[in-house]
Amino acid sequence: MQYADKMEDCGKALSELINLSTTDLSTQFEMKRGHIARFINRTTSDDSVKLRALAARRRSSTMHRDDSIPKSVGSNSSNSLTRSHIRSNAASDALEQSMADMKIKEGYVFKGIVAAEPAEPRACGCVNPPPPISDQVAPYGTVENISVQKLTPEYKIGMEPLVKTKAPPLKVSELWRDKPAVFLCLRRPGCIMCRAEAHQLYSRKAIFDALGVQLFAVLHEQIDSEVKDFWPRYWGGVVLLDRGRDFFKALGGGKLLKEKFLSGFLLNPRSLSNYKRAKAMHIDYNFKGEGEIKGGLFIIGMGKSGIAYQFIERNFGDWAPIAEVIEICTQMQNQQEGQRMSVQY
- How far apart (Å, rounded) are the C-alpha atoms in residues 240 and 221? 10
- Using CA atoms, how far apart are residues 190 and 205, in angstroms rounded to an integer? 21
Contact 156, 149 (CB under 8 A): no
191 in active site: yes
- From 10, 124, 191, 329, the catalytic residue: 191
Name the residue among 132, 223, 134 with its Cα closest to residue 186: 223
Contact 303, 177 (CB under 8 A): yes
Rounded Cα gap, residues 12 and 29, in angstroms: 12
| Cis preceding linkage at 189, omega within 30 | no
CA separation for the pair 306, 301 (Å, rounded): 6
Cβ density class 69-88: b for 16+ within 10 Å, e for less: bebbbbbbbbbbbbbeebbe
Length of the chain: 345
Among 10, 124, 126, 194, which one carries the catalytic annotation?
194
d(CA 222, CA 243): 8
- The CA-based diameter of the chain, rounded to the nearest angstrom, is 66
| Residue of 76, 60, 4 whose CA lies nearest to 301 | 76
What distances in angstroms separate CA 201 from CA 12, 59, 179, 197, one per listed residue?
40, 26, 18, 6
Q: Count Cβ atoms below 10 Å from residue 291 Cβ, excluding itself.
A: 18
Q: Report which of 201, 200, 222 is spatially closest to residue 150, judged by C-alpha positions.
A: 222
Question: Helix, strand, or coil here: 296?
Answer: strand
- Measure the CA–CA gap between 78 and 59, rounded to whole angstroms: 4
Do residues 213 and 310 lie in contact, with contact meaning Cβ atoms separated by under 8 Å?
no
Q: So which residues are the catalytic ones?
A: 191, 194
